[in-house]
Amino acid sequence: MLIRSLAIPKRELTIIKESATLQEAIDILEDSGYRCVPILDETETIFRGNIYKMHIYRHKANGGDMSLPVTHLLKNATKFISIDSSFFKVFFTIKELPYITVLNTDMTFYGILTHNALLNMLAQSWSIDVGSYVLTVIAPGQKGDLYNITKIINKHSSIASCISLDINREDALRRVLVTLPAGTSKPILDTIVRALERKDYRVTEIENLQADF
């Protein structure tokens, strides 16, 4: 459901049919202003891959035949996710791509999920618009750390968001980023920091979202 809400559906996209020539494809790309668009079959339901403007121009510069079908320079044919894929799978699939193709459960083309949408979602997870301070808390990586940290904070304030980092680090230390809600006062912040550090959870950084954004 999360991917569906973030993805751009086919009806809002510029697409190229697999029967188009490279010349027709570059014309479409130039008119749309996009550097890359999806290639679909003639029924506009099956994803074939992506076509990049740079690859067409490189082909043309090398004296390549522009009447060849667009599939001649097709890329990323296996780079896609399902509409019901886990959100974490997106991060392992999209990587350097400008977007990742999203397929329906019957493998038909639904749309695309862009890097921009991912960044906006991550910004929301930081609660920039409704947060006050972000605390970077260092935990020893023991069972119950996250529970203990949130329990300590909840005695003094609610929590707008919480993110745990450093899952793959070799050492045991973990960073937990906790965003406090808007309106949290400096005295409350100071009380939370002292309470955390009394329990050996070091607060290594405090960001003031209202001052920085």
Domains 2-120 and 127-212 belong to one CATH topology: no
Half-sphere exposure of 200 (CA within 13 A, CB side): 7
Q: How far is CA 207 from CA 123, 195, 211, in A?
A: 14, 18, 8
Q: Whose CA is closest to 174, among 154, 208, 192, 148?
A: 148
Sorted by where each begins, the domain ranges of the chain are 2-120, 127-212
Contact between 16 and 25 (Cβ < 8 Å): yes
**CATH placement of domain 2-120:** 3.10.580.10
pLDDT given at position 116: 84
pLDDT given at position 115: 85
Choice between 119 and 25, residue whose per-residue pLDDT is larger: 25
Domain 127-212: CATH superfamily is ACT domain (3.30.70.260)
pLDDT (tens digit per residue) in 33-73: 999 999 999 999 999 999 999 999 999 999 999 999 999 99
Contact between 85 and 68 (Cβ < 8 Å): no
Residue 171 has pLDDT above 60, yes or no: no
Mean pLDDT of the chain: 89
What is this structure's pTM? 0.67
Spatial separation of the C-alpha atoms in residues 39 and 13, rounded to whole Å: 11
Q: Which single residue is written with the structure tokens 């790309």?
A: 29
pLDDT given at position 172: 61
